[in-house]
Structure 1
């Protein structure tokens, strides 16, 4: 009876029947697809290789779910994960959006020896910060014992100021692959600017040569620009037995010249007394430098070959200084003076760079990159020139500039030679939705003659000038102006 009714309906209304059948088939197909997707999501939620907590999981670039499931993530890592956790995801800029951040290490191979004399056993190990894992709803079930944050866990997520600067600003021993390289050098660099007086100071504490060998030493160098336009140079050379440095803090002792990181609020104590390199009065200084909160660039290391290392960190993109600077018996007070501090290490044979730092309104701008055969090789593998902007909330933008465009020229005399120097620099950096344009008027230039690995002599130019910064950062149009320091090499 039902079959006869169906056939009669098809005969009387064939088009309507086909539409109904097609719609029914489409509905069944969609339902099956949704059920399949739901089954996959349920399976993934129960997969021990994919279980996590929170709302967002940050994984290394190039890792997909299948890689995580099959244990392939053991070969990947997130560079500067501490900085990402503390300064970006857990930083003040996202404090209203992000409640908790927790690191997670999954499926690392560990070899455990249960008893003395027994062969080690390979096990899979995972690691979390207990308090963060609980806040994210991702804590494992505790079968026995106690699982609580250690002091190392606390330092990983919430270090004190002393712990943070000790971690990022400590000195290094050369990696094994470049041990014995005589071009290895590492240094603390500071500068001060008195903008109303057209006065500034460059100061560097350098360890030169491989400290693991017997052919190394150090230098403390200073260049002091006076309001009358003169640049006066100072320096002291020290032997290895006069130098102490630390691989766990920024502290340095170069004979009577010292750098100390003080406990409590972030402060550097910097002292030196340097003879003049031209027979004039000596330079004496006693400074306390105070870095601005959340205004730093984390340690980054460029390594493209077995013979090249270039490392860089800026603990104080914006700082203020107090104390005094004396040339002979003529002293200049330092009171809330504009200051800056960075730290470099690596092998420097045949290496040159472009670099600049400026304070423009609420922003601090850092840009730069290294040149040379090994550095150029590294860029082919993803290392780039960088423009980095911070404000009171930490990182505001990180972009890659296009070509640095130097223009204009004037001639200055250096050591009897006429040297052409640029008058301005411009570059643009775009990474949607952010874009910035920098125009720099290069007003004052100090030159040094160098030789780079057998090339013809070049001039290292340290410049002071005015930055005009414009563009869009974080969806807001910006326009700011300020003073800064800039470096390049002139051939």
Structure 2
């Protein structure tokens, strides 16, 4: 009987399918889709349950920013895997990229978050305990609708959160322009040098000044001091150097702020973020006295946040708070003064050990754009060189970064030195292609001066020791820059004037 019923059921089912084949096919397809959807929903639900229990879950937002090179497989939906990493220069990424005016139409809020970072806490009895710590800026997380439930009390931004997210101009200067100390165990610590550097260009571009406030030597010990150096240049004339050297007792600097005092000279950050410069020096040979009183105003958002290069015992740090700036005030020599009113200016900050170090460097305007390029070469890498960087900005801040392999010089210019004539660049070119973006920067040099670094205390960054470089001549140049290229489909074009450095 059971066999007869089973055969009858199969016969009826087959005749139903064959008599209405399209309807049967539609019903089977619908049933299959329903089963598939159910499987997907169950899988998503299981994933959500698992992720809800992850202590390293990063919540809120639509985009997660990760360091370059992180495997996408470390990600889970809405969160990060178990790797402990951070984004280098996170404040720069937040300020100059994610929260910049350029992306204002696409980014409503960028919220920094640290989840599950491994820390070690040492108690009063000397016992070390591993702990897991998390951190975020409450106001930013709240705007992402990702704020955790607060069972008691309040959780709002503190002074550190506010300074990180929304610093005043003065706070920003102090944060990226503060001074440093050599690392413990640093080799050749007597080669440590750190300085504020400014340059100022006259309206007709016929005169300019290089201004340095230098702290040199191992500042952790007794044998170090400070130097004020102002080099005045006039086209087709020999430069004039005005120097004041002081002992460490006459130097004030801080790892917490950008202010520095060297004898009667000083750099002070004003409450509105401008720099007040005062300097006094005498010219070697003539004894003529120079007095300098300037206020330098950096353009908003046009800065380079700073980076430190470490290679073995070598350390070199560099920041540019005033990539595009203006200067007002006066520079007087023997009572005769040049006065400036919102003229082109520039400011950077350098620190590190400089024995055997050379570099390529340039900062220039090109119409609406301001560019910075450079490369530092320690003595232990003299046989090879890394790519240069070219940092491009406009009035809205950071625009693009290029990495040309070389800078092509044409050494068709000759300058006179104490050792005889020296060939130096007459033109230079940097070129790079990165995907659809291109850059060509052409430099035409109309003034150059070469300084022998073997004599000690020669120019900015030089300590009171013999450097023994294979290329001992430090070449400072001034000239015109012409920019061509394209970024994100928009043509780049402009001309302007800048300053450049190399070694020969």
TM-score of the superposition, structure 2-length normalised?
0.87
Q: What does residue 5 of structure 2 align with? A: none
Contact 2:479 2:498 in 1 (8 A): yes
1:69-148 superposed matches below 5 A? 72-74=82-84, 76-111=85-120, 117=125, 119=127, 121-148=129-156
**Partner residue of 2:181 out of 169, 173, 179:** 173
Q: What does residue 469 of structure 1 align with? A: 483
* Segments of 4+ moved more than 4 angstroms: 5-14, 16-37, 67-71, 111-114, 116-121, 373-379
Q: 1:465 to 1:67 in 2, by over 3 A?
A: same
Q: What does residue 334 of structure 1 align with? A: 340
Cα deviation digits, residues 467-491 of structure 1 (max 9, x gap): 110111232112100100000001x
Q: What does residue 458 of structure 2 align with? A: none
1:386-397 superposed matches below 5 A? 386-397=389-400
RMSD of Structure 2 on Structure 1 (CA): 3.0
Q: 1:156 to 1:63 in 2, by over 3 A?
A: farther
Task: Please say if 1:316 is aligned against 2:322.
Answer: yes
1:27-426 superposed matches below 5 A? 31=37, 34-35=40-41, 38-39=44-45, 42-43=48-49, 46=52, 47-61=54-68, 62=70, 64=72, 66=74, 72-74=82-84, 76-111=85-120, 117=125, 119=127, 121-178=129-186, 181-227=189-235, 229-263=237-271, 265-279=272-286, 281-305=288-312, 307-374=313-380, 384-426=387-429
Q: What does residue 436 of structure 2 align with? A: 433
Q: C-alpha distance in 1, partners of 2:94/2:246?
A: 40
Shift in Å at residue 282 of structure 1? 2.0
Q: C-alpha distance in 1, partners of 2:71/2:151?
A: 31
Task: Please say if 1:447 is aligned against 2:450.
Answer: yes
Q: 1:45 to 1:94 in 2, by over 3 A?
A: farther
Give the secondary-structure state (helix, strand or coil) at the position aligned to 2:350.
Answer: strand
Q: C-alpha distance in 2, partners of 1:18/1:405?
A: 75
The farther-off stretch of 447-456 and 93-102 is 447-456
Shift in Å at residue 133 of structure 1? 1.1
Q: 1:433 to 1:37 in 2, by over 3 A?
A: farther
Q: C-alpha distance in 1, partners of 2:359/2:121?
A: 46
Larger Rg: 2
Shift in Å at residue 38 of structure 1? 3.2
Contact 2:58 2:80 in 1 (8 A): no
Shift in Å at residue 171 of structure 1? 0.5
The farther-off stretch of 356-365 and 142-151 is 142-151
Query: Structure 2: any 5+ residue segments left out of the alignment?
Result: 1-7, 455-465
Q: What does residue 461 of structure 2 align with? A: none
Contact 2:364 2:496 in 1 (8 A): yes
Q: C-alpha distance in 2, partners of 1:467/1:108?
A: 46
Cα deviation digits, residues 329-384 of structure 1 (max 9, x gap): 211111111100000001111110000000111110000011134467997xxx75
Q: C-alpha distance in 1, partners of 2:15/2:132?
A: 68
Contact 1:450 1:457 in 2 (8 A): no
Contact 2:480 2:498 in 1 (8 A): yes
Q: 1:22 to 1:427 in 2, by over 3 A?
A: farther
TM-score of the superposition, structure 1-length normalised?
0.89
Give the secondary-structure state (helix, strand or coil) at the position aligned to 1:85.
Answer: helix
Q: 1:108 to 1:450 in 2, by over 3 A?
A: same
Contact 1:396 1:474 in 2 (8 A): no
Give the secondary-structure state (helix, strand or coil) at the position aligned to 2:283.
Answer: coil
Cα deviation digits, residues 91-132 of structure 1 (max 9, x gap): 221122211121111112345578x65956543211111111
Cα deviation digits, residues 212-233 of structure 1 (max 9, x gap): 0111112121211125633111
Contact 2:174 2:256 in 1 (8 A): yes
Cα deviation digits, residues 189-236 of structure 1 (max 9, x gap): 000011415111011111111100111112121211125633111111
Q: How many equivalent pairs are there?
A: 482
Shift in Å at residue 267 of structure 1? 0.7
The farther-off stretch of 443-452 and 460-469 is 443-452
